[in-house]
Amino acid sequence: MTSMAAKSPRAILKTRELGIVLALAALVLYTTINNSRFLSGQSIRDNLLNTAILAVMATGQAVVVITRNIDLSVGSVLGISAFAVATMMSDHPGLPMIVAIVAGLAVGALAGLLNGVLVRYGKVPALVVTLGTLYMYRGITYSWAGGSQVNADELPPHFLNFANDNLLGIPWLVLIALIVVAGTSLVMRNYRVGRELYAMGSSPQAAELAGIKVARNLLGAFVLSGALAGLAGVLFAARFGTVDASAGTGYELNVVAAVVVGGVAVFGGSGTAWGAGLGALLLTVISSALAVLDINQFWQQAIVGALIILAICADRLVAVRIARSLRRRDAHV
């Protein structure tokens, strides 16, 4: 529960996230009317499992975008982590799952650290740096794999089962995604470092002058985004079993789309991890709904595109209205 005192800005964010929930509800309702199987247990489960990987990555991306940066390398980081972990598990089938997860996080964190260092100390815009590392990390994976792939039958059963196992009826994948989103939200909202990340995105110059440890926080944001993409790589490998060097190609655009649709401002300073998670859920449900409704696959991309534009327009509209009402509140002073 949020405190009463933080009503005004929080209420606005609420409406922003409420918008996604309403869109989601309308979509599910319409699709279910047309095909009742859409709300079956298996369908819900598939949707949630498909959302989980995207939501984990979107959470890291949201943190980076909040600082007025972007991380386009996440798809490639997923790829390199998935291939590394799958290779490790097929070579050492005895390793427990937790080692796989830690290895994925570590590979991703390292990739994220390089991004952060180049952005901060190379003074190159994040868009350019991560576009470069997108190709670089992918290239490394390709030359490492050399055309080979890791097949499901080479992987230990406990690794593959992880994607389907439950804890108290909740799939592990979904549980991990929930923990990531909730944990990140908590830190971003209630801890100093989180507020500093918002401050950095809101006004970079003011952040420097306020004595915020900008370099440390920026590296932290990129490391988090990389680590979560690495974690997503482990989940990807466990869920799909077969991993080649192209795993996760093009994912970065889905991730950025989820973040933007989820209401994180592209120019930094506002938005939440919950919003990004909801954005991921909405995008996933749209694609499965289109399949259920038997709408041409190709429409899906157009719809996602329209949704992104709609989300940004809605943000602009809300921002303009807020600015106007704030000015009016000011006028009688």
**Which residue lies nearer to other proteins by CB, 89 or 276?**
276
Looking at the chain, list the stretches that DSSP marks H as alpha helix, in order from N- to C-terminal side.
7-34, 41-66, 74-91, 97-121, 126-145, 157-161, 172-190, 192-202, 204-209, 214-240, 251-261, 273-292, 297-331
| Contact of 249 with 138, CB cutoff 8 Å | yes
At its nearest, how many Å lie between other proteins and the CB of residue 126?
Answer: 19
Binding window for other proteins (CB under 8 A); candidates: 92-100, 247-255, 292-300, 322-330: 322-330
**Which residue lies nearer to other proteins by CB, 201 or 226?**
201
- Phi first, then psi: what are they for 51, rounded to 5°? -70, -35
At residue 17's C-alpha, the angle toward residues 16 and 22, to 5°, is 100
92, 213, 316, 321: which one contacts other proteins (CB under 8 A)?
A: 213
**Which residue lies nearer to other proteins by CB, 203 or 300?**
203
21 is an interface residue for other proteins by CB under 8 A:
no
36 is an interface residue for other proteins by CB under 8 A:
no
Dihedral (CA of 42, 274, 247, 312) sign: positive
116, 201, 248, 279: which one contacts other proteins (CB under 8 A)?
A: 201
333 is an interface residue for other proteins by CB under 8 A:
yes
At its nearest, how many Å lie between other proteins and the CB of residue 2?
Answer: 9
Rounded distance, CA 140 to CA 151, Å? 20
* Nearest CA among 202, 192, 193, 195 for reference residue 220: 193
| Contact of 229 with 153, CB cutoff 8 Å | no
Q: Which residues have a Cβ under 8 Å from the Cβ of 255 and sit 6 or more positions away?
A: 54, 57, 58, 61, 74, 75
230 is an interface residue for other proteins by CB under 8 A:
no
147 is an interface residue for other proteins by CB under 8 A:
no
At its nearest, how many Å lie between other proteins and the CB of residue 215?
Answer: 10
Q: What is the 3-state secondary structure (H, E, C) of 6-28?
A: CHHHHHHHHHHHHHHHHHHHHHH
36, 42, 190, 297: which one contacts other proteins (CB under 8 A)?
A: 190
At its nearest, how many Å lie between other proteins and the CB of residue 8?
Answer: 6
**Which residue lies nearer to other proteins by CB, 8 or 40?**
8
196, 236, 255, 259: which one contacts other proteins (CB under 8 A)?
A: 196
Site size for other proteins (CB under 8 A): 38
7 is an interface residue for other proteins by CB under 8 A:
yes
104 is an interface residue for other proteins by CB under 8 A:
no
1 is an interface residue for other proteins by CB under 8 A:
no
Rounded distance, CA 48 to CA 274, Å? 15
Q: Which residues have a Cβ under 8 Å from the Cβ of 212 and sit 6 or more positions away?
A: 196, 199, 200
184 is an interface residue for other proteins by CB under 8 A:
no
248 is an interface residue for other proteins by CB under 8 A:
no
332 is an interface residue for other proteins by CB under 8 A:
yes
Q: Which residues pair with residue 167 across a beta bridge?
A: 170
Binding site for other proteins (CB under 8 A): 3, 5-9, 190-192, 195-196, 198-199, 201-203, 205-213, 265, 269-270, 322-323, 326-333
